[in-house]
Chain A
């Protein structure tokens, strides 16, 4: 056991609570950020819901023209202010859009929608949703709307029926022996059954299966934040590793120590993993009393640790790739800001991946750190298993091995260059 490899961990342990900057970025910042996220987005968004609609309804001839209740239904959705309506031509297209997150929820109006209602038979609206923590909210809003529309249909039907019935009664009061014709009985039974709920709803839930709850949403954000912390801590270590040692003068004493260059890198890496670990643990512990609910088991916990480790190693290596461009501390800071913030937003750490535009989604699933974080989310909030998560992360793991290895080579080069004076 080479003790020198732990030298930076020693410094990190001792500095954590004393260096205000470190304490802030490693613990206070994520907790504040998380608190804000929960406060702002921790509940489903009371904003316009984007609804994808397939309207297959066929018009029905009535006395003075045709009637298409499917159109009035979609029109009412538009006018309600609750929805932004996007029309689709086929159910497959709709499902695809729901899966990609381009629409929050899907609604299918069947081809017999009008004819069923005209026949006072139940019409069926199909709701297609994703099993995400948010979907239950979109679903209940959509169902509520369908219910309101259904009530409207009931009221109109009752009014029509009342007009008809009062008319019939007026026509037949003269005839004291009038009674309801037997063929009307079954019709009346159907009418009352229909009138209870003219439009019914069927649901179809699409993958991924989700812990569909407020707890799930809150866990989702907490995991995203773990990704952000890993990103910032790991990236700054990679970019600043050599330049900081030069500035502080520690490089001189390290070079004259018996430590080999890869051992000093191991030491820095371990210190970084320590900070990442502390930060993620702080976020986790903080999220629990704020209501985050994780699908936690020994297996998922272990896989989470492993995947965050992979993500951290990747981002350290990624930072090392950028290090040669950071010739001065100022340049390093500039590169850090230029790189870290875009990755934070594009990487799907702050906003659920499926809410992002498609091109960003592509980046977010391809970028290794995003991918490992997404895998952790899928495990801890969608209920996926640890093996699935590891498998899903495989490309990220391979990328990490490559990037970190190249990072080691670059680090050694930079140290050798510093040794030249």
Chain B
């Protein structure tokens, strides 16, 4: 039983768009990522969990409290929600914005100020506390977003595409920060980047057109749905060769592709045989499978692009 439980959640928007079509999952301490392309229903689902969008049907329990029933106040006290564009009051400074978030989460002014300063130190924005939010860089703004979501000391953090627009380095820094600050919390985030989910999620829930198509640990998902690595050889090639454990995928005079479960053992023998056969090899590339492939396998569609 997870700390956040979602049961058969459905959302039909007023214009008739069925954005989420019966989604059930649970999330425990650690980072759970909803992964799926744009329009697959991640934001809609997260908003229903966070309490800002009313489900057409279904239940959400946060730490045992019904978000859309009797326990709504208690549930919301335990949720820190960062929508995709975390709203900040334009004329307020970085520190003041955090204080405002503290106030709406029920903290007193003094307590909110102290906690806001603390959080700014933790996310490394303390020296920028007197700046306007609009003066912050993209990365700094994300860190402020985390601080704002954390100010009520919620047990559950909901982060909608928290790294969108960041480069891979900044993304890594962001998730390190989340792991440091929210180690004991339930973090539910969304992403459309497979690599990010693979690297930083403890649990991945794959969304496709408003439905969950698979869920599990990233390595489990890969093992289960896309276990094969791909070896691509380029050059002036003769006939393809047969090596135990490898399957030929495609072949042309310039390029041959093989799939295998264990590229480490297959690769040396494959190259040896190709050379023996008279091929001249220019490059060899091993593509390890990832969640991108998992998504492709499950849906027949590419995740990005």
Give chain A's interface residues, CB within 8 Å of chain B.
2-4, 6-7, 10-11, 14-15, 18-19, 248-260, 419-421
By a CB distance below 8 angstroms, the chain A residues around B89 are 11, 14-15, 248, 250
**Count of A-B contacts judged by CB separation below 8 Å:** 93
Within 8 A of A (CB), among B47-105: 47, 50-54, 73, 76-77, 79, 81, 83, 85-87, 89-93, 96, 99-101, 103-105
Q: Does B14 lie at the interface of the complex (its beta carbon under 8 Å from any beta carbon of A)?
A: yes
Contact of A421 among B14, B90, B103 (CB under 8 A): B14
11 intermolecular pairs with C-beta atoms under 8 Å apart = A3-B106, A4-B103, A19-B91, A250-B87, A253-B81, A254-B104, A256-B51, A259-B104, A420-B54, A421-B11, A421-B54
Q: Does B173 lie at the interface of the complex (its beta carbon under 8 Å from any beta carbon of A)?
A: no
By a CB distance below 8 angstroms, the chain A residues around B112 are 3
Instruction: Write the chain A residue with the least CB distance to B52.
Output: A255
Instruction: Write the chain A residue with the least CB distance to B49.
Output: A256
Q: Does B39 lie at the interface of the complex (its beta carbon under 8 Å from any beta carbon of A)?
A: no
By a CB distance below 8 angstroms, the chain A residues around B267 are none
Instruction: Write the chain A residue with the least CB distance to B87.
Output: A249
By a CB distance below 8 angstroms, the chain A residues around B85 are 249
Q: Does B13 lie at the interface of the complex (its beta carbon under 8 Å from any beta carbon of A)?
A: yes
By a CB distance below 8 angstroms, the chain A residues around B79 are 256
Q: Is the CB–CB distance between B87 and A252 below 8 Å?
A: yes
Q: Is the interface of A mostly helix, strand, loop or mixed?
A: helix
By a CB distance below 8 angstroms, the chain A residues around B96 are 10, 14
Q: Does B138 lie at the interface of the complex (its beta carbon under 8 Å from any beta carbon of A)?
A: no
Given contacts A249-B83, A252-B81, A258-B76, contact A18 B105 (CB under 8 A): no
Give chain B's interface residues, CB within 8 Å of chain A.
11, 13-14, 44, 47, 50-54, 73, 76-77, 79, 81, 83, 85-87, 89-93, 96, 99-101, 103-109, 112, 158
Contact of A7 among B11, B51, B54, B100 (CB under 8 A): B100
Contact of B87 among A3, A7, A253, A257 (CB under 8 A): A253
Contact of A253 among B52, B90, B106 (CB under 8 A): B52
Q: Is the CB–CB distance between A4 and B52 below 8 Å?
A: no
**Nearest CB in chain B: distance from A400 CB, A:** 27
Contact of A252 among B13, B52, B92, B100 (CB under 8 A): B52
By a CB distance below 8 angstroms, the chain A residues around B93 are 14
- In the bound complex, CA of A257 to CA of B74 (Å): 10
Q: Is the CB–CB distance between B104 and A7 below 8 Å?
A: yes
Most buried by B among A6, A18, A256, A420: A256
Given contacts A4-B104, A14-B96, contact A253 B13 (CB under 8 A): no
By a CB distance below 8 angstroms, the chain A residues around B76 are 256-258
**Nearest CB in chain B: distance from A49 CB, A:** 50
Contact of B106 among A4, A250, A252, A254 (CB under 8 A): A4
By a CB distance below 8 angstroms, the chain A residues around B51 are 255-256
Q: Is the CB–CB distance between B91 and A252 below 8 Å?
A: no
Instruction: Write the chain A residue with the least CB distance to B92.
Output: A14
Given contacts A15-B92, A248-B87, A252-B87, contact A420 B105 (CB under 8 A): no
Q: Is the CB–CB distance between B100 and A10 below 8 Å?
A: yes
Most buried by B among A4, A7, A259: A7
Contact of B103 among A3, A15, A248, A249 (CB under 8 A): A3
Most buried by A among B51, B52, B79: B52
- In the bound complex, CA of A153 to CA of B107 (Å): 83
**Nearest CB in chain A: distance from B79 CB, A:** 6
Given contacts A18-B91, A421-B11, contact A253 B104 (CB under 8 A): yes
- In the bound complex, CA of A252 to CA of B83 (Å): 8
- In the bound complex, CA of A19 to CA of B90 (Å): 9
Q: Is the CB–CB distance between A11 and B92 below 8 Å?
A: yes
- In the bound complex, CA of A10 to CA of B98 (Å): 12
- In the bound complex, CA of A114 to CA of B120 (Å): 92
**Nearest CB in chain B: distance from A332 CB, A:** 18
- In the bound complex, CA of A4 to CA of B152 (Å): 12
- In the bound complex, CA of A348 to CA of B103 (Å): 40
- In the bound complex, CA of A250 to CA of B11 (Å): 22
**Nearest CB in chain A: distance from B293 CB, A:** 34
- In the bound complex, CA of A258 to CA of B103 (Å): 11
- In the bound complex, CA of A7 to CA of B47 (Å): 22
- In the bound complex, CA of A253 to CA of B76 (Å): 10
Contact of A11 among B100, B105, B106, B107 (CB under 8 A): B100
**Nearest CB in chain B: distance from A13 CB, A:** 10
By a CB distance below 8 angstroms, the chain B residues around A259 are 104, 106
- In the bound complex, CA of A63 to CA of B91 (Å): 88
Instruction: Write the chain A residue with the least CB distance to B96.
Output: A14
